[in-house]
Structure 1
């Protein structure tokens, strides 16, 4: 199923057992809840999915099992985040072989490429796969900025279609729309700026806390899309203390604790990450518990026409 780059795309967590194996039953249960809640696609193996710790065989299982269960309902994307361009090409081609519907593509890892090198990396992958591509632009975390001028070159490749906008600069949404119109789809990649970017014209939201709160996330998107801003803002304000868990180095552990608390995930992470303990766990659990105690009643958001 071709991604349309509209709506909510969870950067899904990878579920593990206590023995550090893939927990496919729990993983597929979470995906089922996501789909039932109205998400518009799934991104496998992102930073939140602990991409750097996954083996190639595990990525294959995740892609194929997600497609088997849900490929007729939503597009399934695989993240590609590699240190070398040749390996990024190989991973993209494997994703295509496995049946993935698209890619989220990061700049080179562990090396701060300049503009020419970044363009070479992205365009080399695009030339070697037919899959549609979402470029992940996150200069805050990855120190490489994919500027509007660079997208002039990137959009010459028809399968480069969208950007995960994570610059933390809301004005960049307007800048990109002014320059490219609808030729570049914009998906907010920062949970704490999502409603602001959607109001300013972003087409979608690559979300993190959606892994634990899919209904609230999709509801906000659909209310904004319908122009029901006040209703969306009330839910967004409730959501904000939870959304702030997404902008921390331990976002994986924090969001997995959320998933466990609401019954659609577990806290198990893969080393070097460790599950939360002590004061830190108590502090994050308190944030979650306070939000759950006043969790809002949602309108019938699934009936809102898209």
Structure 2
């Protein structure tokens, strides 16, 4: 599927349920239902989400087995096809050979684009090693009919950001269709765009959606958009039209909640907020992640209520 990166894409949650034995397992029906509800929501300008991101940080990715991850993505591919959007999933490995196998596996279950994280190594790889890692991923993706998106996330990688010089080299590979930049410092986006105005760059942190657009990003991958999809889509509509005042009003309304997207416990925080939004606090608390204390729970509730009140004034709560 040819991807249209000019828009916003939700990194959807993986909903869980208790099995008969008391252990947590993936609730495929609820996961599909939530994803579909997000994708069908329209912004004020009539557009919808332009893609679906599955099994990411917000999708319990670091806690899932490979078998669970593959089953989850196969399930989400049905939703992506129904709404005619690309399915995107992340991949990271210690070696380039291991990464190539992951890319091959993702292609078999309907993933259209693989967001490739830097190598998961104990020592910081050289630019040469990093480039070779991505080159093999790009070649493998080309062979199996998918595309890749280098994913610059220094916090998740555990070491320094990919250099702008290397990102520009990677963007020239034929099967690289976009770059994902997850940082609150959007200057790297502007630097890349000044070097190549035709780049497609997606922002990965909700707090900087408007500033990333000003710097040249064509879209973003959102966590808060799961909870308030109408607001997220509408804000991106205004960003793409250069209507910065209108976009900024929505950003400010969302800010109390968007803040959580840039925190180490973003999965636990935002999943709880999603549960509150759907009057399903128990479901929202079901996660393989860390257990929140009462202070954290109360903070998320207060942030959610404030964002909802502000968005209701703007008629952006669907």
Question: Given the two structures, how large is their TM-score scaled by the length of structure 2?
Answer: 0.87
The separation in 2 between residues aligned to 1:34 and 1:298, in whole angstroms, is 19
Kindly state the Cα deviation for residue 285 of structure 1 after the two structures are TM-superposed: 1.6
Given candidates 66, 76, 101, the residue that maps to 1:56 is 66
Q: Which runs of 5+ in 1 are unaligned?
A: 301-306
- Provide the alpha-carbon RMSD of the alignment: 2.1
* Aligned twin of 2:6: 6
Tell me the matched-pair count.
Answer: 299
* Secondary structure of the structure 1 residue equivalent to 2:201: strand
* Aligned twin of 2:111: 100
Q: Which runs of 5+ in 2 are unaligned?
A: 42-47
* Aligned twin of 2:135: 123
Given candidates 186, 189, 192, the residue that maps to 1:176 is 192
* Secondary structure of the structure 1 residue equivalent to 2:298: helix
- 2:54/2:76 contact within 8 Å kept: no
CA displacement, residues 211-268 of structure 1 (integer Å, 9 cap, x when unaligned):
2121111110001212322222111101011000011111000000111011186221
* Aligned twin of 1:268: 286
* Aligned twin of 2:45: none
Kindly state the Cα deviation for residue 53 of structure 1 after the two structures are TM-superposed: 1.3
- 1:103/1:133 contact within 8 Å kept: yes
* Secondary structure of the structure 2 residue equivalent to 1:294: helix
Given candidates 19, 26, 34, the residue that maps to 1:22 is 26
- 2:184/2:207 contact within 8 Å kept: no
The separation in 2 between residues aligned to 1:156 and 1:185, in whole angstroms, is 12
Note the 1:1-306 alignment, pairs <5 A.
Answer: 1-18=1-18, 19-37=23-41, 38-72=48-82, 73-111=84-122, 112-130=124-142, 131-142=146-157, 143-182=159-198, 184-263=199-278, 266-270=284-288, 273-298=289-314
The separation in 1 between residues aligned to 2:294 and 2:184, in whole angstroms, is 31
* Secondary structure of the structure 1 residue equivalent to 2:177: strand
Question: Given the two structures, how large is their TM-score scaled by the length of structure 1?
Answer: 0.91
